């Protein structure tokens, strides 16, 4: 099985929008649950929910206009809006924006939802009930369909791989990620954009769950206290909305392009308890077997696990049974296990819950921080998985001595409190940078970094930056590299960029049809690259766009391009049509390079390839002008003059007017379309083609037809065209 890693993440949740912003609020013990303001709750027993806060992106809030054009918003339900926001962040975080067809076809999307477009369905049903059926939007059905979250993301980015959705209630988000990972493991995709989205905080959704007596109703006046997993006062779950999306990627694929890797998908398990439509089975037998299956698929023992992000919905029955299942599975290992429920801060996001909590679990591993369970005032006394981590331990004698010392220094702490609050103000204050810019941050310690930032006017002075870096050192180390800084970035923003941002990505586009010398010149002109630019052997580089960071070597980019061509040629040869007059992948590469230079129209290439293949089968000379030009220039590139009779008569192994069969090597680096054209040509008996005056060609089966076509072309052009 192929290994799968996570290379990008995006979150829109009741705690805000943006992965790092949401994570900071979560580990700071903040709650995203509040009173419902978006509709009238006077007839509902539960009046609280976790809703994505509205506001600007800069403040970690949601303004849809910053993410989705207004004209497109009307075509989507809110759950798709939230999926698009999270997916956009995740894809951009991953840096995976493929431009060639092969990579797009190897990139899929699997985003699920438990309910889908509930508000859209409700609004449409009211409209029909009121006799306004003819006024229904033509986008009503696609806006409500669950699979259109995946569809809209794939349309935005051109991802043409597996496009799928999971619909399994609260397990949806985890199932989408797990199933997407398996598609990569099995080779059906190299990259999958996966997760969940939900927007059921609406009058109908709240009424429906209230009717089943599932929602919390005892904390309407204290919304932040309503979600309290395992606490003795819990009385039901709190509805939430949001989305989380992960970019999953085959490990070697991620390594080859230098992707940032958050984590590896180590195991995945599923089960059903065949018990009841909503209530869990006794001892939470289904959850027990799902966790058991995940450990088994990952080859892990219970003692290997350090943290469990629990389902922990805050329901009286479900919490206890889940806890029992965890302790039964982990046995004695539960004593060393940390477990928490982040639903205490977000509410229950239904189909998005598993995806959001997967992102939180990955960040917990990254930072070595266990997110807290809010409102757990009285945990179950019998729980080893909870009590050892949520209750304060009985203090040892040493801790009692330290507590006494703490009292002694408290007065000193009060004296410096003012300084601390001033420091917080300095951290958040706008910086001096007048407009956004990039900077190459040097290696060599905080002092060099601080001086470089001050010289670039990103920070006002080196000393405050160094103090801020020291005070926030627990948030991670600073990284060197080229980074983008927004205008007026605060010290907090600058530090966040240096700790968590992806370095600026530069892009090198290698067009189809270039010779090795032309590619070397292109590499030489890329000033963010370093080192020599060797001339690659003809045909060994795959034309496409390559991302790299400043300071990367030209050799490294060239090696990636060579590896990409090796893969593309291998795949094209594997999928080739039967009975081709080609003996090896190299012969396919040679012919593809000729097809590449013969026509600039992708739709013509399978036809041009068919003509050359037919001529090879009959032993005819290819008579391709680009091979003559290649011979005349010594591989330097395009000829800057018309071909002459002397060129056509030149005795050269690349001159296909003189030789039969293929030349000894490629004449350029062909693109994917030309490789596919040669290995999967059009079905045709044609043996000739000539330019038609519009940039394309006219094809013919007989020499008489071809002669007439050539005469027609000569009447349109002053440039003589040789017969093929």
> What residues are annotated to the active site?
170, 311, 348
Q: How far is CA 515 from CA 382, 544, 597, 599, 655, in A?
A: 73, 14, 11, 16, 16
Q: How many CB atoms lie within 10 A of CB 21?
A: 18
Please state, in angstroms and rounded to a whole number, the distance separating the CA atoms of residues 149 and 156: 11
Which residues, other chains included, contact 128 with Cβ-Cβ below 8 Å and sequence gap of 6+?
A: 136
Strands (E), 465-594: 481-485, 505-509, 545-549
DSSP bridge partners of 508: 546
The C-alpha R_g of the chain, in whole angstroms, comes to 31
Place of tokens 């400043």: 550
Closest CA to 26 of 231, 235, 223, 309: 309
Closest CA to 547 of 348, 257, 162, 321: 257
Q: Name the pairing type of β-strands 505-509 and 545-549.
A: antiparallel
Token reading at 563: 């590896």
Q: How many CB atoms lie within 10 A of CB 207?
A: 15
Distance of CA 236 to the CA centre of its chain: 34
Please state, in angstroms and rounded to a whole number, the distance separating the CA atoms of residues 43 and 261: 48
> Residue 192: left (phi > 0), alpha (psi -120 to 50), or beta?
beta
Contact 159, 104 (CB under 8 A): yes
Distance of CA 499 to the CA centre of its chain: 20
What's the full length of the chain, in residues?
A: 724
Please state, in angstroms and rounded to a whole number, the distance separating the CA atoms of residues 610 and 599: 13
Token reading at 393: 């331990």
Please state, in angstroms and rounded to a whole number, the distance separating the CA atoms of residues 51 and 222: 16
Contact 432, 460 (CB under 8 A): yes
> Residue 380: left (phi > 0), alpha (psi -120 to 50), or beta?
beta
Helix, strand counts (H, E) of the chain: 27, 17
Residue 698: phi and psi, rounded to 5, are -115, 135
Strands (E), 123-218: 163-164, 191-198
Closest CA to 60 of 105, 25, 110, 96: 25
Please state, in angstroms and rounded to a whole number, the distance separating the CA atoms of residues 648 and 625: 9
Please state, in angstroms and rounded to a whole number, the distance separating the CA atoms of residues 375 and 48: 16
Helix (H) or strand (E) holding 452: helix 446-455
Which residues, other chains included, contact 221 with Cβ-Cβ below 8 Å and sequence gap of 6+?
A: none
CA atoms within 13 A on the CB side of 369: 18
Contact 144, 120 (CB under 8 A): yes
Contact 310, 372 (CB under 8 A): no
Strands (E), 442-556: 481-485, 505-509, 545-549
Q: How far is CA 219 from CA 153, 233, 391, in A?
A: 38, 10, 23
């Amino acid at each position: 099985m192929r290994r799968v890693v996570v290379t990008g993440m995006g979150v829109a949740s009741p705690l805000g929008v943006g992965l790092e912003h949401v994570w900071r609020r979560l580990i700071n013990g903040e709650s995203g649950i509040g009173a419902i303001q978006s509709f009238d709750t006077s007839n509902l027993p539960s009046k609280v929910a976790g809703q994505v806060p509205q506001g600007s992106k800069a403040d970690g809030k949601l303004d849809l206009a910053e993410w989705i054009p207004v004209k497109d918003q009307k075509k989507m339900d809110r759950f798709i809006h939230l999926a698009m926001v999270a997916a956009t962040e995740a894809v951009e975080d991953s840096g995976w924006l493929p431009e060639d067809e092969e990579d797009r076809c190897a990139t899929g999307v699997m985003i699920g939802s438990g309910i889908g477009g509930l508000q859209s369905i409700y609004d449409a049903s009211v409209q029909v009930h009121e006799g306004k059926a003819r006024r229904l939007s033509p986008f009503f059905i696609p806006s409500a369909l669950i699979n259109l979250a995946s569809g809209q993301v794939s349309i935005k980015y051109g991802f043409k791989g597996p496009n799928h959705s999971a619909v399994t209630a609260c397990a949806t988000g985890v199932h989408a990620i797990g199933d997407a990972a398996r598609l990569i493991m099995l080779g059906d995709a190299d990259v999958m954009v996966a997760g969940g989205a939900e927007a059921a905080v609406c009058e109908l959704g709240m009424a429906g769950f209230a009717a089943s007596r599932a929602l919390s109703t005892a904390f309407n006046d204290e919304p932040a206290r309503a979600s309290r997993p395992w606490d003795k006062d819990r009385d039901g779950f709190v509805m939430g909305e949001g989305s989380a999306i992960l970019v999953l990627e085959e490990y070697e694929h991620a390594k080859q392009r230098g992707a940032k890797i958050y984590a590896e998908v180590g195991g995945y398990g599923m089960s059903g308890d065949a018990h009841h439509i909503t209530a869990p089975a006794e001892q939470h037998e289904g959850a027990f077997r799902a966790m058991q299956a995940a450990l088994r698929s990952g080859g892990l023992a219970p003692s290997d696990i350090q943290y469990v992000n629990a389902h922990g919905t805050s329901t009286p029955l479900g919490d206890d049974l889940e806890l029992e299942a965890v302790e039964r599975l982990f046995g004695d290992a539960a004593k060393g296990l940390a477990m928490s429920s982040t639903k205490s801060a977000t509410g229950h996001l239904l189909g998005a819950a598993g995806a959001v909590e997967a992102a939180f679990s990955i960040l917990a591993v990254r930072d070595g921080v266990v997110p807290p369970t809010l409102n757990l005032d009285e945990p179950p006394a019998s729980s080893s998985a909870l009590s050892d981590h949520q209750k304060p331990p009985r203090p040892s004698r040493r801790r009692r001595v330290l507590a006494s010392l703490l009292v002694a220094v408290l007065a000193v702490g009060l004296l410096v409190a003012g300084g601390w609050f001033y420091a917080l103000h300095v951290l958040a204050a706008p910086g001096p940078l007048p407009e956004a810019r990039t900077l190459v941050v040097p290696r060599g310690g905080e002092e060099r970094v601080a001086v470089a930032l001050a010289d670039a006017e990103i920070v006002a002075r080196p000393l405050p930056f160094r103090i801020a870096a020291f005070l926030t050192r627990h948030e991670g180390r600073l990284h060197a590299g080229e980074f983008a800084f927004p205008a007026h970035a605060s010290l907090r923003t600058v530090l966040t960029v240096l700790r968590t941002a992806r370095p600026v990505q530069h892009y090198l586009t290698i067009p189809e049809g270039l010779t090795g010398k032309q590619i070397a010149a292109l590499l030489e002109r890329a000033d963010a690259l370093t080192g020599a630019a060797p001339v690659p052997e003809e045909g060994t580089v795959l034309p496409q766009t390559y991302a790299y960071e400043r300071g990367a070597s030209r050799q490294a980019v060239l090696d990636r391009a060579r590896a990409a061509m090796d893969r593309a040629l291998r795949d094209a040869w594997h999928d080739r049509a039967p009975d081709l007059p080609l003996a090896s992948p190299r012969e396919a590469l040679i012919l593809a390079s000729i097809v590449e230079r013969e026509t600039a129209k992708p739709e013509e290439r399978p036809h041009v390839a068919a003509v050359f293949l037919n001529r090879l089968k009959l032993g005819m000379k290819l008579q391709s002008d680009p091979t003559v030009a290649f011979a005349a220039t010594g591989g330097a590139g395009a000829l800057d003059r018309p071909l002459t009779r002397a060129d056509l008569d030149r005795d050269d192994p690349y001159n296909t007017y003189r030789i039969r069969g293929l030349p000894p090597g490629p004449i350029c680096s062909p693109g994917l379309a030309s490789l596919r054209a040669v290995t999967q040509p059009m079905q045709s008996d044609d043996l000739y083609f000539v330019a038609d005056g519009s940039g394309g060609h006219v094809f013919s089966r007989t020499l008489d037809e071809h002669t007439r076509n050539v005469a027609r072309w000569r009447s349109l052009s002053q440039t003589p065209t040789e017969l093929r």
